[in-house]
Structure 1
Amino acid sequence: MSPISEKAKRLSLRVNWVVERVCVALLVLLVLDVWLGILARYVIPLPMTFTEELARYLMIWMALLAVSSGIAHREHIGVEFIFSRLPAPVRRWLATGFDVIAFVFFAALFYYGIGFAEKGFSRLTMIYAIPKGYPFLGVPLAAGMACVQLALIGIHDFFNDTAPKALGATLVDPGDD
């Protein structure tokens, strides 16, 4: 593996390590929030309406951030049947091309997501009465993280000595050690 490819791979895995921990923390908060909502509704009759709105925002943030983790592990959608039957040079260029197309998509989502979040700061959430821009910031943040991962994966694919064997091939291969 070339030094550039190795550095891109290591950086991608480090960024992914942080994103995975954030997603797990959001999941823990989500589970606790849902349990509190269940307890408040059925066990302890308390008017805790905020749990439903918080659960919605936690779930959206967690799902959006998990996209970059899926990209880092090459678990995004691809046409594997055709890809795996192509010769190695074609697979390399095709994988890099897919990365570029996905990067353009997420860069546009990042750009328009910033405008979306900006407009959200002029509207308030129903229960918390906080600006909706804060929950909406999950869109450009997740798209930015996806762009970072796609750039690192694209560098890894382009500079790696061997072409990817499959679109779903993870960066952590048993033979890499």
Structure 2
Amino acid sequence: MGLTRILVKVLTWMCIITITLLTFIVLLQVITRFFDYSMPGTEELSRLFIVWLTFLGSSLAIYEKMHLAVNYFVNKFKKRQRKVLYILVNVLIIIFYAVLTYYGFMLSMSAMSQTTSTLQMPVGISYLAIPVSGLFSIYFIAINLTGSATEEEGGTAS
């Protein structure tokens, strides 16, 4: 469990730093536009931070079990069937994230030769959020699979 706690802390701090930088950059952009000056690159940088924050936050939400779920039909099953259904759904989600991670990595590597117009940063840095988030998500789903299905039902919306 030590590795999981470290990853969660790293992910949490990455989200905190990203949203802080995003807030600062957007605020700076608003202030400079008030004086009829547009800072170059602030839009590209804010877009990069939003992409990373969205994907990293999604992985953190998987760990915290904060994603929306509708349990109406699941609750119609018996406890044993719910457990099997829970495992099946999570295996399918892991497969989805594995495909997303693979193709996200391919996309980000192919886009590394392209650069953004103002900052001249590789476009692949934005796309790299997809496989990084996918790896975190796969790990957290696998960790969540070790818990019981009835624990999962308590924290979701119905």
User: What RMSD over aligned residues (CA atoms) do the two structures have, in Å?
Assistant: 2.0
Match of 1:60, SS?
Answer: helix
The reply on whether 1:72 has 2:63 as its aligned counterpart is: yes
Would you say 1:115 and 2:122 are equivalent positions?
A: no
Task: Quote the residue 1:164 is aligned against.
Answer: 150
User: Scaled by the length of structure 2, what TM-score is found?
Assistant: 0.88
8 A contact 1:13–1:72 mirrored in 2: no
Per-residue CA shift, 1:22-47, capped at 9, x if unaligned? 111111111101000001111x3334
Aligned CA distance change for structure 1 residues 66 and 57 (closer, same or farther; 3 Å): same
Cα displacement string for residues 44-96 of structure 1 (whole angstroms, at most 9, x for unaligned residues): 33341211111111011000111111111222243311223422211211111
Residue type at the aligned position of 1:49:
P
Provide closer, same or farther for how the CA distance between residues 168 and 129 of structure 1 changes in structure 2, counting only shifts above 3 A: farther
1:106 is matched by which residue type in structure 2? Y
Matches within 5 A, 1:5-84: 7=1, 12-42=4-34, 44-84=35-75
Whole-Å Cα distance in 2 between the matches of residues 83 and 166 of structure 1?
12
Query: Cα 1:49–1:141, aligned 2, differ >3 Å: closer, same or farther?
Result: same
Query: What 5-or-longer segments of structure 1 have no aligned partner?
Result: 1-6, 158-162, 171-177
Of the structure 1 ranges 86-95 and 123-132, higher mean CA displacement relative to structure 2 is found in 86-95
Q: Which has the higher contact order (CA 8 A, sep 6+)?
A: 1
SS at 2:33's partner residue? helix
Matched, 1:94 2:85: yes
Contact 2:29 2:38 in 1 (8 A): no
Report how far residue 130 of structure 1 moved.
Answer: 1.6
Q: Give ranges in structure 2 of 5+ residues lacking alignment.
A: none
Number of aligned residue pairs: give it: 156
- What is the rounded CA distance, in whole Å, between the counterparts of 1:97 and 1:18 in structure 2? 29
Identity of aligned residues (%): 25
- Contact 2:104–2:128 (8 Å) recurs in 1: yes
Distance 1:121 1:137 in 2: 9
